[in-house]
């Protein structure tokens, strides 16, 4: 059922984003489309986080899941148009998600993650101009859905989208005005790879402290325009 709901949700995101760009509508309509797509996954696909460690979310389960999906859907949507090589960051994150899911036995995440990573590689090989907002939003949504699916089993898996995508992306945006874009993406990608490898050798208890620290840093960074990307 998740495969069907993900496909329907992606169609909604693509249609909404295309309409907003072509008709020059307010970005609020993009947000409406993302919320609708997220609700399809949550309500029809029955994908939501009910627990954070030992804390039961109860009625907050749907709002939390909705906020998570919409936030990570837009993590790739920066104010400036970006070159295709920025897609290396979500590709690394998707590979990390796929390997983790394969080890833990979650076929939905491993299959979709691998397909999405291969799609990104094809785009990297064929695209020379800037990546469109439709594609970046769709990739962000796929990563958000896969991450939420992993969180449904263990909340520590929030480490993957934060440390293999969000923090490296923040580093890239910080460096691109100080060095060349090529150099900044190489550094950011190496950081993403480093955190990806750490995940498979570090105990979950230690990962939890990194998750808390990284979340605090990201939350504080959004109060400053220079570092804002969500």
Beta bridge partners of 51: 56
Beta bridge partners of 52: 55
Tens-digit pLDDT profile for residues 14-48: 999 899 888 888 888 889 999 999 999 999 888 88
Which residues, at least 6 apart from 19, have a Cβ–Cβ distance to it below 8 Å?
25, 29
Query: Would you write out the chain's pLDDT as a tens digit for each of its 230 residues?
Result: 788 999 999 999 999 989 988 888 888 888 999 999 999 999 988 888 777 766 777 778 888 889 889 988 888 876 566 677 888 999 999 999 999 999 888 889 999 999 999 999 888 888 776 777 888 889 999 999 999 988 877 778 888 888 899 888 888 888 877 887 788 888 999 999 998 988 888 777 777 777 777 667 666 666 655 555 54
Give the number of domains in the chain.
Answer: 1
Q: Return d(Cα 86, Cα 175) in angstroms, integer.
A: 13
Domain assignment of residue 72, given as a range: 2-227
**Cα dihedral 111→114→116→119 (10° resolution):** -130
Q: Return d(Cα 77, Cα 133) in angstroms, integer.
A: 7
Nearest to 75 by CA among 188, 145, 173, 165: 165
Whats the size of the chain, residue-wise? 230
Neighbour count for residue 198 (Cβ, 10 Å): 15
């Amino acid at each position: 059922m998740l495969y069907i709901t993900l496909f329907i949700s992606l169609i909604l995101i693509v249609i909404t984003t295309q309409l907003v760009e072509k008709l020059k509508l307010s970005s609020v309509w993009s947000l409406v489309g993302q919320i609708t797509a997220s609700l399809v996954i949550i309500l029809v696909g029955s994908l939501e986080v009910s627990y954070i460690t030992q804390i039961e979310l109860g009625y907050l389960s749907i709002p939390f899941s909705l906020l998570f999906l919409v936030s990570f859907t837009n993590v790739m949507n920066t104010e400036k148009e970006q070159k295709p090589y920025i897609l290396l960051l979500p590709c690394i994150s998707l590979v990390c998600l796929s390997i983790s899911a394969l080890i833990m036995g979650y076929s939905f995440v491993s299959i979709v993650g691998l397909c999405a990573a291969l799609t990104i590689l094809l785009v990297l090989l064929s695209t020379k101009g800037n990546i469109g907002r439709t594609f970046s939003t769709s990739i962000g949504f796929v990563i958000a859905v896969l991450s939420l699916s992993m969180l449904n089993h263990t909340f520590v898996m929030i480490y993957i989208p934060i440390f293999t995508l969000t923090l490296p992306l923040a580093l890239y945006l910080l460096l691109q005005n100080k060095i060349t874009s090529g150099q900044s993406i190489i550094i950011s990608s190496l950081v993403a790879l480093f955190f990806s490898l750490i995940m498979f050798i570090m105990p979950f208890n230690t990962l939890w402290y990194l998750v808390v620290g990284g979340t605090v840093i990201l939350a504080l960074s959004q109060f400053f325009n220079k570092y804002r990307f969500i």
